[in-house]
């Protein structure tokens, strides 16, 4: 990716400038970020996805100060009439189901893949929205069709209206507002209050959402992985205490035993290589609902493309794909990294992989994790 070239998507900033000036720092409004933007799916396709139980969907209906929230799957008849104002349908993880949505997410890969979460699509009738709120993650709000008025504020007071099925700010005082037309985009860092209200019906907004692991949550999952993968040693080093004197306080835990425990834990977490490996596996783990379409007869010839659901990452030592890790070095490592960066490899590059790497590619193709370049696997 050309990070030093101005792009329309970022309003003429280069990705490098955007990351320096705005990312995690301040909002950016971009008019015509995607000129002539066509929604990645039609209204009919959107409603069909809402009815699919593999898709995470929510319906929010506003009735004055009352809000009703319903979780999908949502058959078409569960949706209010299009002419009824004040409702919105939210579809999470559309990139996992629709190739065009994945492609849209890919245009934001100047942000590391490990930080990209998903593409959410909302459909709103006139006046629909999710109310004023703050998010914990950065988001790019790209207007796909219809018009939406966004109001934003640097939010210090994060108290919420009590008793609602969703988080709505009690005291939201907009500082800036814009009406976004199709193709316009608003970037918001975490912690900014925002409220998007559909002006007129058929309002579709794509949210390119980020993810950021919590410190403790990440420590837990990395340690859990490390433990799962550490085999119980055949001969464990046992605590020894040849210098233990006779005690008149037999209930007290010997301080040397505490030191032994500290040392044992430090050894476990001090192994940088297994921690790195566990991190890569954790970060590349597909989301809970994701399932791939295995293809037993996958015949690999020319180039390859990753399946839209695949998460592929790497570090200096390993390649990670969908929660699995592989040691890689030399030319194979270079090519596999290129596959992770571009989500595809040309026919010539694929040919240069070693026979072992070819076997892996075939295994991954059978698992549905990647496909031959000509057949993107629907
Ligand atoms: C929406 O698309 O209605 C809400 C998106 C957001 O506020 O993050
Ligand atoms: Co939001």
Q: What is the per-residue pLDDT across 340-375, written as a single tens digit (0 to 9) for each?
A: 999 999 999 999 999 999 999 999 999 999 999 875
Please give the pLDDT value at position 374. Answer: 73
Please give the pLDDT value at position 356. Answer: 95
Tokens of residue 271, six digits? 């192994």
Average pLDDT (135-161) is 96
For the chain, the structural domain boundaries read: 8-210, 214-230+254-283, 304-372
Tokens of residue 117, six digits? 């979460």
Taking the C-alpha atoms of residue 175 and residue 28, their distance in angstroms, rounded to an integer, is 14
Taking the C-alpha atoms of residue 46 and residue 88, their distance in angstroms, rounded to an integer, is 12
Average pLDDT (95-105) is 97
The percent of residues above 70 in pLDDT, for the chain, comes to: 98
Please give the pLDDT value at position 375. Answer: 53
Does the beta carbon of 193 lie inside 6 Å of ligand 1? Answer: no
Does the beta carbon of 88 lie inside 6 Å of ligand 1? Answer: yes
Average pLDDT (78-106) is 97
In eight-state DSSP terms, residue 4 is T
- For 195-252, the pLDDT digits (tens) are 999 999 999 999 999 999 999 999 999 999 998 887 767 778 999 999 999 999 999 9
The residue whose C-alpha atom lies closest to atom 4 belonging to ligand 1 is 130
The residue whose C-alpha atom lies closest to atom 8 belonging to ligand 1 is 207
Average pLDDT (281-304) is 90
Residues whose Cβ atom is located within 5 A of ion ligand 2: 135
Nearest ligand 1 atom to alpha carbon 133:
7
Nearest ligand 1 atom to alpha carbon 88:
3
- For 239-287, the pLDDT digits (tens) are 999 999 999 999 999 999 999 999 999 998 898 999 999 999 999 999 9
Beta-carbon neighbour count of residue 341 at 10 Å? 14
Q: Which of the ligands is closest to the CA of residue 209?
A: 1
Please give the pLDDT value at position 378. Answer: 41
pLDDT exceeds 80 at position 129: yes
Q: Probe ligand 1: pick from 141, 142, 147, 199, max atoms within 8 Å of CB?
A: 141
- For 25-55, the pLDDT digits (tens) are 999 999 999 999 989 999 999 999 999 999 9
Residue 227: its H or E element: helix 215-229
Please give the pLDDT value at position 365. Answer: 96
pTM of the model: 0.94
Please give the pLDDT value at position 376. Answer: 46
Please give the pLDDT value at position 301. Answer: 78
pLDDT exceeds 50 at position 377: no
Does the beta carbon of 143 lie inside 6 Å of ligand 1? Answer: no
Taking the C-alpha atoms of residue 283 and residue 278, their distance in angstroms, rounded to an integer, is 9
Q: Which CATH number fits domain 8-210: 3.20.20.190, 1.10.3080.10, 1.20.1730.10, 2.60.120.650?
A: 2.60.120.650
Cβ atoms of 146 and 182 closer than 8 Å: yes
Q: For residue 72, which of 48, 101, 99, 42 has the smallest C-alpha distance?
A: 48
The percent of residues above 90 in pLDDT, for the chain, comes to: 90
């Amino acid at each position: 990716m050309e990070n030093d070239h101005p792009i329309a998507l970022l309003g003429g900033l280069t990705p490098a400038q955007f990351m320096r000036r705005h990312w995690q720092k301040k909002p950016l409004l971009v008019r015509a970020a995607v000129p002539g933007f066509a929604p990645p799916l039609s209204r009919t396709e959107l409603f069909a996805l809402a009815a699919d139980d593999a898709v995470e969907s929510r319906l929010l209906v506003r009735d004055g100060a009352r809000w009703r929230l319903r979780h999908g799957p949502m058959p078409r008849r569960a949706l209010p009439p299009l002419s009824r104002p004040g409702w919105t349908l939210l579809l999470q993880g559309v990139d996992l189901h629709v190739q065009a949505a994945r492609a849209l997410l890919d245009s934001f890969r100047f942000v590391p893949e490990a930080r990209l979460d998903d593409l959410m699509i909302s459909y709103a009738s006139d006046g629909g929205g999710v109310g004023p709120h703050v998010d914990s993650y950065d988001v790019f709000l790209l207007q796909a069709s219809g018009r939406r008025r966004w109001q934003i504020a640097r939010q210090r007071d994060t108290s919420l209206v009590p008793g609602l099925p969703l988080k709505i700010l009690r005291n939201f005082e907009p500082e800036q507002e814009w009406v976004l037309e199709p193709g316009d985009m608003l970037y918001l860092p975490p912690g900014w209050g925002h409220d998007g209200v559909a002006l007129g019906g058929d309002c579709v907004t794509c949210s390119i959402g980020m993810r950021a692991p919590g410190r403790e949550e990440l420590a837990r999952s990395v340690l859990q992985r490390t433990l799962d993968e550490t085999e119980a040693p055949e001969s464990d080093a046992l605590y020894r205490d040849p210098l233990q004197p006779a005690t008149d306080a037999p209930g007290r835990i010997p301080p040397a035993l505490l030191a032994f425990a500290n040392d044992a834990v430090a050894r476990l977490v001090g192994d940088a290589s297994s921690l790195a490996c566990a991190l890569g596996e954790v970060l590349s783990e597909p989301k809970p609902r994701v399932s791939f379409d295995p293809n037993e007869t996958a015949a690999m010839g020319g180039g390859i493309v990753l399946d839209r659901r695949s998460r592929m990452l790497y570090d200096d030592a390993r390649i990670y794909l969908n929660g699995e890790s592989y040691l890689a070095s030399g030319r194979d490592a270079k090519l596999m990294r290129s596959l992770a960066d571009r989500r595809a490899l040309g026919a010539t590059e694929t040919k240069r992989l070693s026979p072992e790497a070819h076997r892996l590619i075939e295994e991954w193709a059978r698992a549905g994790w990647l496909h031959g370049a000509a057949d993107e696997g629907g």
